[in-house]
């Protein structure tokens, strides 16, 4: 078949390696797609924007939501399975994000919000799927087929697509996106060795935290989701400053805490790092901004990012690689995690 491992150990690692090409093709594809103009117009005009998605796609949606919220837009991120608790109307626009285009919760949310008179835009990775067929405007990522159950290159592509879409709505220059492919590729090659080390170290732990600030929060959520999905390690993501309101109670010597540093509020994040160090947590920092390093105990990698808007793209591969290597160390199959399905078509 056209889809084979091509010598790779797993689809997951193959697909992570395909992510920079996927981001490049996604951005180029959307820039040449007349439909994106319609989406921008509808999202710009809307009184409120509801961003609907599940799982990893929801985390991409949070990045989009935060960017627009910071630019004065009213955006409401909605976990697809919670849609029934909200109402929309004809002044609202809906953005549904789904890799498969078939997730039942997302499709049901779309149908109900559309029947309320709201304008629906979708972002999916396949052609001819249910979600795009019900949308007023159907946009696509161009990651190619993804076989691994846990989303990798499709997530990075969604982030690339949503950076472009949000920049167009904000009305800023999109020149910075020319570096998107390079930033993802460089982040992968610079971090892979170090992420393998972290993955192996955390593989025998039963619980861990991912902490970040700003756009680092959805990235931390995605990192924690990945390691739960494929390595079966309990992980929680928190805004770093919130960790002192509960989560820190569990931190003791050797408890792994991964800091996701986007370069936003670095001094505050460094203080949170010190709080964790003073409880003898095993701390790691993945920086896509200024270095956090506060002592010799902290293991930190600093990724080069040409523009602060590309930090989320840079952080995607390392967070996926930690989960991959933790799963490998534990001897689990990263492509087919237990209890999970690639596409969930039940409620």
Which residues are near ligand G6P by CB under 6 A? 54-57, 98-100, 103, 106, 149-151, 340, 342-344
Please, which residue, 149 or 233, has the CB nearer to ligand G6P? 149
DSSP secondary structure, 59-124, as one string? HHHHHHHHHHHTTT--EEEEEGGGGGG----TTEEEEEEESSS--HHHHHHHHHHHHTT-EEEEEE
Cα–Cα distance measured from residue 215 to residue 101, given in angstroms and rounded to the nearest whole number: 25
- Taking the complex as a whole, how short is the minimal distance between the CB of residue 344 and ligand G6P, in angstroms? 5
User: Can you tell me whether residue 256 is helix, strand or coil?
Assistant: strand
Cα–Cα distance measured from residue 152 to residue 179, given in angstroms and rounded to the nearest whole number: 20
- Taking the complex as a whole, how short is the minimal distance between the CB of residue 142 and ligand G6P, in angstroms? 15
Please, which residue, 57 or 311, has the CB nearer to ligand G6P? 57
Distances (CA, A) of 318 to 33, 154, 227, 306: 30, 15, 12, 17
Find all residues with CB under 8 Å of 271, minimum gap 6, and list them: none
Please, which residue, 77 or 263, has the CB nearer to ligand G6P? 77
Find all residues with CB under 8 Å of 33, minimum gap 6, and list them: 139, 140
Structure-block tokens of residue 246: 């509960």
- Taking the complex as a whole, how short is the minimal distance between the CB of residue 252 and ligand G6P, in angstroms? 32
Please, which residue, 154 or 272, has the CB nearer to ligand G6P? 154
Please, which residue, 100 or 186, has the CB nearer to ligand G6P? 100
- Taking the complex as a whole, how short is the minimal distance between the CB of residue 40 and ligand G6P, in angstroms? 22
Closest by CA to 235, choosing from 261, 203, 272, 206, is 206
DSSP code at position 171: T
Paired strand residues for 237: 210
- Taking the complex as a whole, how short is the minimal distance between the CB of residue 149 and ligand G6P, in angstroms? 5
Please, which residue, 97 or 217, has the CB nearer to ligand G6P? 97
Please, which residue, 14 or 282, has the CB nearer to ligand G6P? 14
Other C-beta atoms lying within 10 Å of the C-beta of residue 236:
17
- Taking the complex as a whole, how short is the minimal distance between the CB of residue 112 and ligand G6P, in angstroms? 16
Q: Give the residue closest to ligand G6P by C-beta.
A: 55
- Taking the complex as a whole, how short is the minimal distance between the CB of residue 130 and ligand G6P, in angstroms? 11
Maximum pairwise Cα distance, the chain: 58
């Amino acid at each position: 078949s056209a889809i084979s491992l091509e010598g790779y150990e797993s689809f997951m690692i193959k697909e992570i390696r395909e992510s920079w090409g996927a981001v490049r093709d996604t951005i180029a594809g959307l820039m040449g797609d007349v439909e994106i103009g319609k989406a921008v117009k509808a999202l710009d005009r809307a009184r409120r924007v509801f961003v609907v998605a599940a799982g990893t796609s929801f985390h991409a949606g949070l990045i989009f939501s935060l960017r627009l919220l910071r630019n004065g837009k009213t955006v409401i991120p909605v976990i697809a399975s919670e849609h029934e608790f909200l109402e929309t109307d004809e002044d609202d626009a809906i953005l549904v994000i789904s890799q498969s285009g078939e997730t039942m919760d997302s499709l049901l949310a779309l149908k109900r919000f559309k029947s309320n008179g709201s304008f629906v835009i979708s972002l999916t990775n396949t052609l001819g799927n249910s979600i795009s067929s019900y949308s007023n405007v159907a946009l696509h990522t161009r990651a190619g087929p993804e076989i691994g159950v846990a989303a990798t290159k499709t997530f990075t592509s969604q982030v690339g697509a949503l950076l472009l879409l949000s920049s167009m709505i904000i009305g800023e220059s999109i020149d910075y996106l020319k570096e998107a492919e390079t930033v993802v590729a460089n982040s992968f090659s610079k971090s892979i060795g170090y992420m393998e080390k972290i993955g192996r170290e955390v593989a025998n732990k039963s619980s861990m935290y991912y902490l970040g600030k700003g756009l680092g929060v959805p990235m931390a959520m995605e990192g924690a989701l990945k390691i739960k999905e494929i390595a079966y390690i309990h992980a929680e993501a928190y805004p770093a400053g919130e960790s002192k309101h509960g989560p820190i109670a569990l931190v003791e010597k050797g408890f792994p805490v991964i800091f996701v540093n986007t370069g936003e509020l670095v001094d505050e994040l460094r203080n949170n790092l010190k709080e964790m160090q003073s409880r003898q947590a095993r701390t790691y920092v993945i920086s896509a901004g200024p270095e956090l390093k506060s002592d010799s105990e902290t293991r930190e990698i600093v990724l080069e990012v040409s523009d602060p808007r590309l930090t989320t793209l840079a952080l995607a591969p390392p967070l996926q690689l930690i989960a991959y290597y933790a799963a490998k160390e534990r001897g689990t199959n990263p492509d087919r995690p237990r209890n999970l399905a690639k596409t969930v078509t039940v409620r």
